[in-house]
Structure 1
Amino acid sequence: MSTAPQPQPGTGTTGPEPALVGIVLVSHSGQVAQSVADLARGLAGGGAIAPVAAAGGTPDGGLGTSSDLIVQAAREVDRGAGVAVLVDLGSAVLTVKALLAEGDELPDGARLVDAPFVEGAVAAVVTASAGGGLDAVEAAASEAYGYRKT
């Protein structure tokens, strides 16, 4: 049996996987959350992609937000470098704030990020995939408010 380090999937390098910031995308619609996650992953390009999870809708597939789905998604993407949570609308903000206030549901280092949902998600995933820390991911996502389209 070989004890030599093995290449890590998607990195082309040996050794432990890098601790990348995880991204959770919370939408009132499961389809919207998943589509934005897919778009952000696709635009992040090649190489290692930061862990991204969609937490959209309710457990039965309806419209709304679910604290259980948000907690599950945050735990899924947590690699120890923090978790950036981006949300679409008002009650999603309230749900995440309540989870953060409880203090024991979301992983340590989970943070609600004030950013536009689509553009912020892309900026967050690109920055996290490049190895940016939680502060850099939050800054990049928040800066998306300034993207001009004209």
Structure 2
Amino acid sequence: MVGIVLVSHSNKIAEGIKEVSLQMASQAKIAAAGGTRDERIGTDVNKILEAIQSVYSEDGVIILFDLGSSCMNAEMAIEFLDPDKQNKVEIVDAALVEGAIVAAVESTLNKNITEIKNSIKSTNLPKRA
């Protein structure tokens, strides 16, 4: 099953999105990596790395993030992984809440990482007025 990591500058946001996603797909492997170690607003490379490792499988891991520096720290966290794991972890630029829910549901349906990424990307459709 593809693992999911939610990276946010706020621990409350990351945990809240994880909670909502698990309501939709309780068997999903989701880790929240929000805020800093000292509970401030920001992101922490080590928290992200630990989150990746906690949900890692040979099926891969999808990382979703809230802001640009979250993506940058996720990229750095991936660099700390063993080289054979690095190519199985992918950052997806998509709506965080919608992407997390889609990823959670599809991962429990045993979709592969490419299928899940494509579905997440389809959540970026324009909103109706």
TM-score (norm 2): 0.90
> Which of residues 25, 31, 37 in structure 2 aligns to 1:53?
31
Stretches of structure 1 that go unaligned for 5 or more consecutive residues are 1-19
Q: Distance in 1 between matches of 2:7 and 2:17?
A: 10
Return closer, same or farther for 1:41/1:30 CA change in 2, 3 Å cut-off.
same
What is the RMSD of the two structures over their aligned residues, measured on CA atoms?
1.9
Q: Distance in 1 between matches of 2:122 and 2:111?
A: 15
Q: Distance in 2 between matches of 1:149 and 1:104?
A: 43
Q: Distance in 2 between matches of 1:110 and 1:38?
A: 22
Q: Distance in 2 between matches of 1:148 and 1:62?
A: 32
Q: Distance in 1 between matches of 2:128 and 2:24?
A: 18
> Which of residues 20, 34, 39 in structure 1 aligns to 2:20?
39
Query: How is 1:79-94 mapped onto 2 (pairs within 5 angstroms)?
Result: 79-94=57-72
Q: Residue 10 of structure 2 aligns with which residue?
A: 29
> Which of residues 112, 115, 133 in structure 1 aligns to 2:112?
133
Q: Residue 90 of structure 2 aligns with which residue?
A: 111
**1:101, distance to aligned residue in structure 2 (A):** 4.3
**1:73, distance to aligned residue in structure 2 (A):** 0.6
- Which has the bigger relative contact order, CA under 8 A and spacing at least 6? 2
Stretches of structure 2 that go unaligned for 5 or more consecutive residues are none
Instruction: Flag the structure with higher helix content.
Output: 2
Larger Rg: 1
3-state secondary structure, aligned to 1:25: strand
Q: Distance in 2 between matches of 1:119 and 1:43?
A: 11
Q: Deviations over 1:69-109 (max 9, x none)?
A: 00101100112210000000110011112333455389441
TM-score (norm 1): 0.78
Counterpart residue type for residue 95 of structure 2: P
Task: Report the number of matched residues.
Answer: 128
4+ aligned runs moved over 4 Å, structure 1: none
